Amino acid sequence: MFQKLRLAATIGCIMFLGACAVGRSVVDINAPSSSPNPQTGTSIRLVDVVDNREFQVKPRSADIPSLSDAKIGDRSITERAYARKRGGFGKALGDVLLPEGETVANQIKQAITTGFRRAGYRVFDANSTDPDAQTAIPVNADIRKFWTWMQPGFWQVTLHNRTEVILNGDLPALKDGLTIENHYSDGMQMVLDNDWTQTASQALVEFSDKLRDALLLRSK
């Protein structure tokens, strides 16, 4: 019986490592579909959405953002990084990055925009030339966490994503700051590149929904 279990575990590990390509992968994320601006409602202007995540070379656990030694100080890489592939025993196999020209901050910004608009707010970009944008209330976002990681298991691997963003602005709903946190997870037999997309994308959908719900609750 023990030999059968060991064989099954070995086969599972081989399948897992075979599916998870070693080396860097460039995989896009599908942010929540945008919602049209309401015709009426409080107007806000997203001034700054800042990526303040902290990366470590050798983190104590896989949920902490990390990259190879040579790239951890390169902002052009860290601003695109949102996951790191690992083997069955936790060994790092490669980074997962957004395509060039795309950033985690931009993905979060789209999710924030969707959440606010679905809560009834009119949202304008910082560079908008719309006349209403000039009088809109400035809102800033501080990205503390956005990371996807894998947790190997005996029969399956689980992909997790943890998101944490702090929003500030002169709005009743943002009084003393509003922190939105979300933890999404999904189990699977093996991890392919599109699984990184699916997990991170669904995490952004849930984050956007939580932001909408929090705004509506605080506005009552």
Q: Quick check: is 56 in a domain?
A: yes
What percent of the chain lies above the pLDDT cut of 70? Answer: 88
- Distance, CA of 214 to CA of 173 (rounded, Å): 8
Q: Residue 3 — pLDDT band, cuts 50, 70, 90?
A: very low
Q: Quick check: is 81 in a domain?
A: yes
User: What pLDDT, in 10s, does the model give residues 164-200?
Assistant: 999 999 999 999 999 999 999 999 888 888 999 999 9
Domain holding 168, by residue range, is 2-35+47-218
Among candidate residues 163, 78, 185, 172, the one with its CA nearest the CA of residue 112? 163
Q: Quick check: is 42 in a domain?
A: no
Mean pLDDT within 11-15: 41
Residue 154: give its domain's CATH number.
3.40.50
Does residue 166 contact residue 112 with C-beta atoms inside 8 Å?
A: no
According to the 3-state scheme, what is the secondary structure of 109-171?
HHHHHHHHHHCCCEEEECCCCCHHHHHCEEEEEEEEEEEEEEEECCCCEEEEEEEEEEEEECC
- Distance, CA of 176 to CA of 181 (rounded, Å): 16
The pLDDT of residue 68 is 79
Q: Quick check: is 128 in a domain?
A: yes
